[in-house]
Amino acid sequence: MINVNKLRSEFPILSREVNGKQLVYLDNGASSQKPKVVIDAISNAYSNEYSNVHRGLHYLSNLATDNYENVRSIVQKFLRAEHEEEIVFTSGTTEGINLAAYAWAMGHLKNDDEIILSIMEHHANIVPWHFLRERFGVKIKWVDCDASGNLDPQAIIDQFSDKTKLVAITHMSNVLGTVVDVKTICHEARKRGIVSLVDGSQAAVHMSVNVKDIGCDFYAITGHKLCGPSGSGAIYIKQEIQKTMRPFIGGGDMIKDVFTDKVIYNDPPMKFEAGTPGIVQTIGFGVALEYMMSIGMDNIETYESELTLYARQKLEGLNWLNIQGKPSKKGAIFAFTLEGSAHAHDISTILDKQGIAVRAGQHCAGPLMHHMGINASCRASFAFYNTKQEVDKLLSGLELARDLLS
């Protein structure tokens, strides 16, 4: 079980005030706060252990290399991958998906081949595929969610054809909180020889992930949403897929040798990691994942499920508040608008004056916004360190916004 008060004490920023009010941080979908153990690890890495990795023979280089490379096994454990070499470090999910697009898709897809996406995708899982549409004539097929925000896996599967080469799907919508049955989709894709990529940016924060069970070929996560530093992340790439991929970026570390007339590439995962990496960011990422695993991802999911249910009971019955999407299986994410013409930015500003941090805008989900018929929404996204009392404060802030903007 989670002791939320103890956990909150481990996040220095949660004790501060904003605009004279106790901070209520509900922008976790954009980026989570950092526990002191992560902050201290980053400070220690720069203060006492910093050096470049892989290239040196001196003590600090070896120490930094060990600390950096040890994170690979931590990510492997977190995602339950079969092989440590299936973990490729990135600067976040965006780079991970672009890596898949450049290193795999550009070498395997051609004119009229199909990529299947859901309407709920984040721009990071849309724009790289538009590159292929623009440059190679690849077709993108879109699958809508229903009016409640549910995405039927069969609706995705029904779009599979002989021309389908890739299905790229979110595990949890960053706007609606919809939890997608990616296992059913990925297993059916594998039966048909279709490669599958899962955007795990949101889901990996809120639940236990097992990439072997899911059966995907790619699974991308980002460190800054997982209590780690920005500029950190990883993508799981199944070994058999790695063998069919070419390098994404050229430079140091991703080669074994370079000659005037040829290069010999390194083995995966180094083959896909060129140049000096985010050394300290990755070390901090590893500490963050260990911290979350020490709490227990199942414990986090259980606690957040209770918090989500409480928030749904408080918010969904209000006739002046429009909750965008009410899927049957939902993570701790709520996008909403007020009845009338109140703009999301005005709502967010009023909440901020009450010390309540939410996000306002399109949340990098333009196609979903167009599908829902709105230009923008506010989004309150919860983490395991949020409380029911903070849900109540959100409700009070929304009531104030309603009164001021009506």
Which residues are annotated as catalytic?
364
Q: From CA 241, how far away is CA 195, in angstroms rounded?
A: 9
- What is the pairing mode between strands 356-357 and 24-25? parallel
Q: From CA 388, how far away is CA 392, in angstroms rounded?
A: 6
- Omega of the bond prior to 269 within 30 degrees of 0, cis? yes
The first and second tokens of residue 148, run together, are 């409640």
Residue whose structure tokens are 């470049």: 52
The first and second tokens of residue 139, run together, are 């077709």
Burial class (CB in 10 A: 0-12, 13-18, 19+), 301: middle
Q: From CA 357, how far away is CA 10, in angstroms rounded?
A: 19
Residue whose structure tokens are 């109140």: 342
- The DSSP element (H or E) to which 4 belongs, if any, is helix 4-9
C-alpha distances out from residue 349 to 7, 300, 355, Å: 28, 30, 10
**If phi over 0 gives left and psi between -120 and 50 gives alpha, with beta otherwise, what is residue 56?**
beta
DSSP 248: S
Q: List, in sequence order, every residue forming a beta bridge with 338; answer none if it has no partner.
A: 321
Q: From CA 231, how far away is CA 251, in angstroms rounded?
A: 19
297 phi/psi in degrees, rounded to 5: -65, -35
The first and second tokens of residue 25, run together, are 């941080």
Of 284, 280, 278, 283, the closest CA to residue 253 belongs to 278
Q: What is the DSSP string of 255-323?
A: EEEE-SS-EEEPPTTGGG--SS--HHHHHHHHHHHHHHHHH-HHHHHHHHHHHHHHHHHHHTT-TTEEE
